[in-house]
Amino acid sequence: MIDVETVRALALALPEVKEHDHWGRPSFRVRNKIFVTLWPDEGRAVLKLSRDDQWTLVQLDPEVFSPVPGTWGEQGSTNVQLDRIERDMFGQVLYTAWRQVAPKRLIAAYAESASTPQSD
């Protein structure tokens, strides 16, 4: 289980992510494109995913993942119940959402830096 502060920390750890208000809720953006919005009072996050990723996650665990009702859900917006997901799994799904909106060059630079051995 994770909380809002964990989501915030994980999101802000990704390259070029900034937090902004989105209709009274915290949202996290890369180059002004939202990839996650928090709904603190409801204990959930909404992630922008591809329809394929959304479908896979909903099939994997419908207690944790569900499409947002309506048009947004049809475009991949996915509810994540924060009290039902482990930190590592959320981090993986959050990274997938970040990749959905981040520019290709930024994704490539981040992948390269993550795979480059660090010297001590």
Res. 120: pLDDT tops 50 = no
Instruction: Please tell me whether residue 65 adopts helix, strand or coil conformation.
Output: strand
For residue 21, what are the β-bridge partners? 26
Name the pLDDT band for 102 (thresholds 50, 70, 90). Answer: very high
Give this prediction's pTM.
0.90
Q: What is the pLDDT of residues 11-50, one digit of tens each?
A: 999 999 999 999 999 999 999 999 999 999 999 999 999 9
CATH topology classification for 4-107? Aspartate Aminotransferase, domain 1 (3.90.1150)
Q: How far apart are CA 80 and CA 102, in angstroms?
A: 20
The fraction of the chain above a pLDDT of 70, given in percent, is 95
Phi, psi (rounded to 5 degrees) for 10? -65, -45
